[in-house]
Chains A and B, each alone.
Chain A
Amino acid sequence: MWKNFPLFPERASALAAQVDGLYFFLVAVSAFFTVLIFLTIFVFAIKYRRENHPHPSHIEGSLPLELTWTLIPLGICMIFFAWGSLIYFQEGRPPRGAMEVYTVAKQWMWKFEHEGGQREINTLHVPLGRDVKMIMSSQDVIHSFFVPAFRIKQDVLPGRYTSIWFHPTKTGTYHLFCAEYCGTQHSGMIGEVVVMEPAAYQAWLTTGGTSGTLIASGHQIFTQMGCETCHRSDTQGRGPNLAGIYDKPVALEDGRSVMADENYLRESILNPAAKVTAGFKPIMPTYQGQISEEDLAAVISYIKSLSQPQTSTTSTKEAAETGNRE
């Protein structure tokens, strides 16, 4: 729109046009009913003003009218509900093969780590035309990852992962805002999402100044922090073998079965006694306070990579539940 006085955000994701479509439909229907009511009141106020119409008629009501103006709005609302829900479910189910970016939000900045280990602060580079999934947690209070041009938003919580995905469709630089009040510099916790042509993105990746991919550094931390001592790749360890557990159900000591998603892995590291795998004892020490959010993301990346060849049974349910409570 007009550069200096825009009235509408840019559309830079596959979702944006869908959200806008529903928005315009809502605006049209709302405008229709608003004008209808305004006009009706205006007409009645003039036509039936006391000078013109000194003797009011005595009307009690009308059941057919009540039913009409109850059921028609209800029907229209159901259209809004269905349409909006379809979009929301799409947003909640990242496609398989999405590129993952781990995000740590803290007062008052955004820290991003790409799969290749490239780290960024406040600016996020992504390639055009690829699905991107943000796996996010906060180091302190609740923040919210908001990119108006993509029409997406997701709160970022301390203590667990939430995720959001998008598919950029237009190169450019777009606002990133923190959308959940988080203290003094809440309005300063802003950044940019830079969508690049795939070739330019590849070039950017090599300049990332990385110390190895996320998976490689995760493996290093896994060894350094002693995880390998118990979680061995044979079955002799005091802890379960982690190869192939990601994104599959895990049977627990107490009889429950849970999906091993990012939040499960996170909880198992920070609060191991919460869910003990069947057949094992609750002897794992907690790493709460000993591992940073970034290192946690790297270790989880590494554990996920141990399931890599076996993607045939990855369910979309996992994707849906990543942002959800267990």
Chain B
Amino acid sequence: MATAVQPVVERENYLNSNYGIKSWLLTTDHKRIALLYLFSITAMFWLGGFFAMMVRLELLTPAGDLLTSDTYNKMFTMHGITMVFFFLIPSVPAVIGNFVIPLMVGAKDLAFPRLNLASWYIYMIGACLALYGFLFGGVDTGWTFYTPFSTAYSNTHVVTVALGIFVVGFSSIFTGLNFIVTIHRMRAPGLTWSRLPLFCWSNYAASLIMVLGTPVIAITLLLVAFERLFHIGVFNPALGGDPLLFQHLFWFYSHPAVYIMILPGMGVISEVITCFSRKRAFGYEFVALASIAIAVLGFLVWAHHMFVAGISMYSALVFSLLSYFVAIPSAVKVFNWTATMYKGSVRYDTPMLYAWGFIGLFTIGGLTGVFLASLGIDVHVTDTYFVVAHFHFVMVGGMVVAYLAGLHFWWPKITGKMYPEAPAKLAALLTFVGFNLTFLPQFVLGYMGMPRRYHAYPPEFQVLNVLSTAGASVLAVGYVLPMIYFLWSLRYGEDAGPNPWNAVGLEWMTPSPPPTHNFDETPVVTWEAYDYEHQPQEEITVGH
């Protein structure tokens, strides 16, 4: 006997509770704001990627034959600015952090939901200012804006773009403020600091840097604007200023900024490694404290960007020593993640593949940072492709990989759908291979002496440049695939259920997608972090 098929009534969740553009643009729901950010930073990622493509295409041949010098200089500048300020810095905090942190602590929302929305609007205003500068002439100072070139010699939209970065900095500050207060004040009953997921610890540490460091770049860029517009001598020696003062001020923020970028990514890795090893994090306290140590020590090393800039030898000595100290907590994390897998029960799902990619590539990136901290080596390789390779290893091989790991891990929670596993694994493999092919040759190029920001180069550097561009093409495919299958999954993906990974964490104890108010009842936490010991062993059946 056939039974009548009952129509499925879609449960109310944050996506369908309200329709219409106003309900999105005026939302204060942290989950919707996370999606607004997802949309924005994805667009900026593709823009930054376009600039990178122009750079790599030009570098296929030794002569500067694809673009004029000025255009090329604008391409690498805009690539750096877009990727650093408009993609990497917001990526994990504003997308994943915004979505997941209130869920992880058992709260209904962040501490200041309207401030959260404001931070997205501020991001958009900053992005529009920068885009205006990019489209109507561009900027060619390098993302580092060194003076007096940026204040007195460049003929491009320096002030407009600098203002765009100034504005977007406030978006960062407000997000950081929101996270700090939320984590301090809105944890569910029983959720002590030592039971907090490591993702919260990492984002907390990054938030400290965001709040303390970002004001410095804001003031620095304002001073650049004043010097450029009103000829007030701050950095230009011809006006009585000091070019090194700019560098100290700029790097005082921009070095900690790299830890703003990487710490949230490290938080993702902690979540993924524990879930797919089904074990609590090895050395939880050490990993948590390492995050704080990185944040603190990160403020003490800025002049390692200035070893050949004209600082005193004794100054350089101190900053070199401190730079070694800041490397150690990152190493401690890598060892702890590896040890977490020991005698675990390991699954090869896509987030885990990305996590392994992160550990491998971040290790290489971090070790090459150790090369750079060594004064005698730095003199030779600073301002060459060695540095370019180093920071792409940590930022792309590390951070972007971690971001992708997080997107895949929490996608089912965010959308209620599973992404398709087979193309996802393929994309992970392509990004790993493409990435290595792009950036490993650059270490060799750097030691050989190829300077960075070169439009044309001596012919003996060509083979390695061609390899690098080939790798970039593979990497691009690896990035396009998730765009396609994530969108595909929205319509055709399997329904995910509340906990497709059988993970431990408050965010997995609410439906996917979550209701607007997150939890029907405030949870009470009585278990330690990553309590996989007491998590029932169910087979993961979804999406495989």
Residues of A within 8 A of B (CB): 4-9, 18-19, 22-23, 26, 30, 33-34, 37-38, 40-41, 44-45, 48-50, 53-62, 65-66, 69-70, 73-74, 77-78, 80-81, 83-89, 91-92, 107, 140-142, 144, 146, 148-149, 151-155, 157-160, 162, 175, 177-188, 190, 320-321, 323-325
Contacts and interface: CB of A to CB of B under 8 A. Distances in A.
Contacts of A65: 283, 335, 339
A61 B286 contact: yes
B509 interface: no
A34 B363 contact: yes
A73 B290 CA distance: 15
9 contacts: A9-B449, A66-B283, A74-B325, A148-B380, A149-B449, A151-B379, A151-B380, A152-B380, A180-B383
Given A62-B283, A153-B383, A158-B237, A325 B310 contact: yes
Nearest to B459: A4
A41 to B, nearest CB: 6
A325 B244 contact: yes
Given A54-B537, A181-B142, A323-B310, A41 B367 contact: no
A86 B376 contact: yes
Given A80-B324, A81-B324, A142-B146, A155 B360 contact: no
Contact of A186 (B147, B380, B454): B454
B148 interface: yes
A49 B448 contact: no
B376 A87 contact: yes
Nearest to B327: A77
Given A22-B376, A53-B343, A81-B321, A178 B451 contact: yes
A160 B310 contact: yes
B523 interface: no
Contacts of B383: 144, 146, 153, 179-180
Contacts of A153: 308, 379-380, 382-383
Contacts of B344: 44, 48, 53, 56-57
A210 B295 CA distance: 57
B286 A325 contact: no
Contacts of A87: 375-376, 379
B328 A70 contact: yes
A180 B320 CA distance: 21
B348 A49 contact: yes
B332 interface: yes
Contacts of A8: 447-448
Interface in B524-540: 532-533, 537
Contacts of B339: 59, 65
For A44, A57, A78, which residue has the most chain B Cβ atoms within 10 angstroms?
Answer: A44
A106 to B, nearest CB: 11
B328 A88 contact: no
B19 interface: no
Given A55-B345, A85-B375, A324-B310, A69 B447 contact: no
A142 B356 contact: no
A187 B377 contact: no
Nearest to B331: A73
Interface string B246-289: 00000000000000000000000000000001111011111000
B429 interface: no
A48 B345 contact: yes
B210 to A, nearest CB: 27
A6 B364 CA distance: 23
Interface stretch (B104-112, B311-319, B488-496): B311-319
A7 B376 contact: no
A53 B346 CA distance: 8
B239 to A, nearest CB: 10
For B153, B368, B370, which residue has the most chain A Cβ atoms within 10 angstroms?
Answer: B370
Contact of A325 (B148, B312, B348): B312
Interface in B346-368: 346-348, 356, 359-360, 363-364, 367-368
Contacts, number: 286
Contact of B370 (A18, A70, A80): A80
Given A30-B370, A89-B313, A158-B148, A45 B346 contact: yes
Contacts of B341: 41, 44-45, 48
Contacts of A55: 345, 537
B356 A45 contact: yes
Nearest to A182: B149
B421 interface: no
A134 to B, nearest CB: 13
Contacts of B163: none
B516 interface: no
Contact of A84 (B148, B282, B310, B375): B375
A184 B243 contact: no
Contacts of A60: 280, 282-284
B343 A59 contact: yes
B332 A66 contact: yes
B338 A40 contact: yes
B13 interface: no
Contacts of B532: 56, 58
Contact of A88 (B140, B316, B371): B316
A155 to B, nearest CB: 5
A324 B313 contact: yes
Contacts of B148: 140-142, 158
A57 B463 contact: no
Contacts of B377: 19, 22-23, 26, 84
Nearest to B283: A61
A186 B448 contact: no
B243 A181 contact: no
B436 interface: no
Contacts of A74: 324-325, 328
Contacts of B375: 84-85, 87-88
Interface string B35-75: 00000000000000000000000000000100001100100
B425 interface: no
Given A41-B356, A41-B360, A50-B346, A187 B376 contact: no
A220 B234 CA distance: 35
Contacts of B307: 88
B510 interface: no
B187 interface: no
Contact of B374 (A59, A61, A80): A80
Interface string B441-477: 0001001110111111110100100000000000000
B449 A148 contact: yes
B227 interface: no
Contacts of A183: 73, 140, 149, 153-154
B378 interface: yes
Given A22-B374, A23-B377, A187 B455 contact: yes
Which 8 A-B residue pairings sit nearest by Cβ, starting from the closest?
A: A148-B449, A159-B237, A87-B376, A84-B374, A88-B375, A187-B454, A61-B283, A57-B343
